Structures are given as C-alpha cells and as structure tokens.
Amino acid sequence: MRRAPLDADPVRQAMACIVDRDAITSKILKSEAIPLATIVPPWNPYFNSNTAAFPYDLTKAGEILDRAGYTVDRKTKMRIDPNTGKTMREMKILTPKAESSPPTMAQIGKMIADAARKVGLPVKHEPVDFLDMVGMVDDRNFDMYIRAWSLSRNPDYLESLFHSRNAGEGGYNTSGIALPELDQALEDLERAPPISTLRGKLPWKPRPSLPENSLWRYCTPKSIMRDFAKTRLQGTCRCRDTVPPATTTNGRS
C-alpha cells in the first residue's frame, strides 16, 4: 500500500488471483506443504476455517483490471494506469538468491512474475542476497517479496505483522496496514488469557481478518499437518511451541 501502483485495490486483488498456490505446493514444494487462506494454520487452536480467499483465476484477474480501467497497451501488452494515463511501471518481486536460501522461494517468485505478465501486469522477479533483501524491506524499498517465517503456537505474531503501530521503520508491518478494527482485535488478542484455559467455556467469536484488498499468500509444511492429524485421532491436539517456517508472499508495499 505504500507506493503506486500497488496502492490501488484492483491491482492487489488481481495479483492475488494470479498466485497459483496449488501449483506452488505441488510442483515447487513437492506436495510437502498445503495452501492456506490465513497466516494462522489449521493445527493452531485459533484457526478460522471460514477465512475467505481469492482463488487462482487469470481470467478474473484480467476482469478486475478491466473494470477498474486498466486497459492494455497494444504495443507493450502491459496495462495502462488510469491514474496516470501511462503504462504501469515495472514492479519487482524480491526473493533470496537460490544460493543464499532454499531455491524454492526464487522459483515461486518467477512463477508469480510470469503469471502476472500474462494479465498485463509488468512484474519482474528479482533474486537478491538475503541480507540485502532484508535491508530493502526494512527501508520500505520494495514492491513485493517472498520469505519464510517461523510461527509460534500463540498467534502473537499477528500483532507484529499487522498492527499499525508496527508500520514504521524497522517494524514488521512492512505492508503499512492500518485498520482501526484490526488494531482493536489484535489488542484484544494480546490481553486474552491462554486459549487452553478457555477451551469449551466460550463460543468461538469470529474476529476481523485481513480485508479483501490485502495481498498475503501462505502455505504451511505438510509435516505439521500430519502431526496435527495424528494427535487429533488420539484425542488430543498437541501443538508445538515452534514450527518450521511457513512461506508467505507479501505483496503490499
């Protein structure tokens, strides 16, 4: 949201539609992960199975852009920004270089960039050294990036990633999300007692989720889901304190 053209809802929504999470998990991650619509995975007691998501649909992505007035330039085949009347600038999706991090992130970045260009969005995959990428993200000098996170059992990481007070320099809310209702929900979560003390006593109350104009895409290691299924069959849900990283695509800047 920090700079054009990704500050426009239709562009982010179209980008959300061109991320083929099923192909990412099956072809690149070799079916060792599952696609998710939320950053809180199914093995977590806070998981909400009703979270909405944009499905992979290149046709829908093009329709969203068409309706918003992003016409296709006949010469370049790229979209024209109706706010400027000029061809959209090139947007870069950063990933760590294959030699400095697992090569899967670079492969995912290229897949997304290739799909974006099919609907006229000028996206380029740019692999960089991991530390350089971290510096660019901290300086808010990016359009989109892909990295992995380790998630704790209690989703206190949600406050770090999405509360507006963490949107400043050095904060983890690199997208610049600022929604009063979401801030309040995150503050309520901070003050909440451990869920283990509430299980069975209170009904589930849906909390505000990221809006549809957000561009975050997730997958989680399938090994964690196997642990989850096994322990549930035994009658208990034994959640770990930490888990292997979940891959996220952050496309808001």
- The pLDDT value recorded for residue 214 is 54
| Contact present, 113 and 19 (Cβ < 8 Å) | no
* 78-96 pLDDT, tens digit each: 999 999 999 999 999 999 9
* 93-149 pLDDT, tens digit each: 999 998 777 789 999 999 999 999 999 999 999 999 999 999 999 999 999 999 887
Rounded average pLDDT over 217-245: 42
Query: Which domains are delineated in the chain?
Result: 9-152+214-250 (3.10.105.10)
d(CA 69, CA 83): 9
Rounded average pLDDT over 220-228: 47
